[in-house]
Structure 1
Amino acid sequence: MSRPQCSRCLRPATHCLCPLIPSLESRTRVLLLQHPSEVNHALNTARLAALGLNNAQLVVGEVFDDLATLLNPPGYQARLLFPSDDAQPLQRYAPDEQPMLLVVPDGTWRKARKLLHLNPLLAALPRVTLMGDAVSRYRLRKAPGPGALSTVEAIAQALQVLEAPASFEPLLRPFDALIERQIAAMGAAVFEKNHG
């Protein structure tokens, strides 16, 4: 018998994160393309980001038949948030600059690359990247390298840069709570032994 689940945040009802999820406005539109293997992941930070941003959309799949439509909402310039040699560092919007459709693949690095491989329109988008080597707040995982962030952290940082001085820190509240709950559940001694 399974535990009752919140239909919105998909957490067990006893650990619902909805009271911590903000309702943030952004000039930037965020399109999250989530690999199906991430849907039932314990953290599912793409879902947290989509729930916390009023101008965001989460689409699950490997091949997106309606990708041309998704990538061309009127009034936005589509950019793929994904590292590459030719990726442009994100910068604050100029006053009259057209806002961005920030396309964010969600999955392991391997699965995200697969999404690009299976969707040529996605792979063909101009790429943008975050500057610097931000440190992830995901203290339960070893990052594969400097600047490796969870999906919600990457989105919050990207919006922070693009729309400064607006703050997108509230987007990370449910993520931080989730991490704290997992640490509490494993106990301080186990956390220190494995992640300290």
Structure 2
Amino acid sequence: MSRPRCSCCKRPASHCLCALIPDLSSCTEVLVLQHPDEVDHALNTANLAVLGLRNANLWVGEVFDDLPAWLAEPGYRVRLLFPGDEAQPLTLASSEEESRPMRLVVPDGTWRKARKLLHLNPLLAALPRVTLRDVPPSRYRLRKAPMEGSLSTLEAIVAALNVLEAPNDYGELLKPFDALIEGQIAAMGEETFRRNHLR
């Protein structure tokens, strides 16, 4: 029999993180496209990010039928937060054209699954890409980063918003994330964590 779960943060009710989740506004609209395999993952950081942002949505799937209409809505700059040869460093808007509100699309899943989302949604793959630069090391101490500069989905969203919405600081979104990581470490035991993750 499974443990009762919080319907909001999806954590076990005994480890609910809702009290730590902020209620933050932003001009930037964030759309997280989550691979279905991530939904029930114990470390679902995308859900925490969306819960803490008023102007954010989470769509779960592999093919997103509503994406063409959403992308066609006028008045926005739409960018895909994903690395690649054509990806431009994310910067604060500096011209009238760039002052239009941004819609930031963030794929959520392993690198392989995120690439699959792009492959299955050609309109998504065709979006102008942006990437982060000079990011702090990930606080995601439970996973070994596949490449330098890798961040969890929540950390990437925080870093992006800190650029796009400067001087506003979205670090408060990391409070439930830090508690989540600390809780997982406590559950496995400090000795097990040190043996398996501090190498």
Q: CA deviation at 1:134?
A: 3.1
Cα pair 1:46 1:151 within 8 Å, conserved: yes
The aligned residue for residue 54 of structure 1 is: 54
Matches within 5 A, 1:1-196: 1-94=1-94, 96=96, 97-196=99-198
Residues 138-195 of structure 1 deviation map (CA, whole Å, 9 limit, x = unaligned): 0011100111000000000000011111010011111100000111111111111112
Unaligned 5+ runs, structure 2: none
Q: CA deviation at 1:61?
A: 0.5
Counterpart-to-counterpart distance in 1, 2:73 and 2:6: 31
Between 1:107-116 and 1:61-70, the stretch displaced more is 61-70
2-side partners of 1:53 and 1:121: how far apart? 25
Letter in 2 for 1:111: K
Q: Given the superposition, is the C-alpha separation of residues 186 and 124 from structure 1 closer, same or farther in structure 2, using an over 3 Å criterion?
A: same
Contact 1:93 1:163 survives alignment (8 Å): no
**What is the TM-score normalised by the length of structure 1?**
0.96
CA-to-aligned-CA distance 1:64-112 (integer Å, 9 cap, x gap): 1111122244432110000011111001123741121000000000000
Asked if structure 2 preserves the Cα contact closer than 8 Å seen for 1:80 and 1:125, the reply is: yes
* CA–CA distance in structure 2, aligned partners of residues 70 and 33 of structure 1: 13
Q: Which deviates more from structure 2 when the two are superposed, residues 38-47 or residues 130-139?
A: 130-139
The question of whether the paired residues in 2 share the 8 Å contact of 1:31 and 1:56 is answered with yes
Q: What does the per-residue CA deviation read over 1:5-51, in whole Å, with 9 as the maximum and x for residues that have no partner?
A: 10001111100010011110011000000010110111111111110
Query: 1:30–1:102: 8 Å Cα contact kept in structure 2?
Result: yes
Q: 5+ residue gaps in structure 1?
A: none
Contact 1:31/1:101 (8 A) holds in 2: yes
Aligned pairs, how many? 196
TM-score by length of 2: 0.95
Sequence identity (%): 69
After superposing on structure 2, the runs of 4+ consecutive aligned residues of structure 1 that deviate more than 6 Å are: none
Q: Greater CA deviation, 51-60 or 184-193?
A: 184-193
Q: CA deviation at 1:133?
A: 4.8
- How far apart in 2 are the matches of 1:28 and 1:126? 16
| SS class of match (1:71) | helix
SS in 2 for 1:138: coil
The CA RMSD measured in Å over matched residues stands at 1.2
- SS of the equivalent of 1:75 reads coil
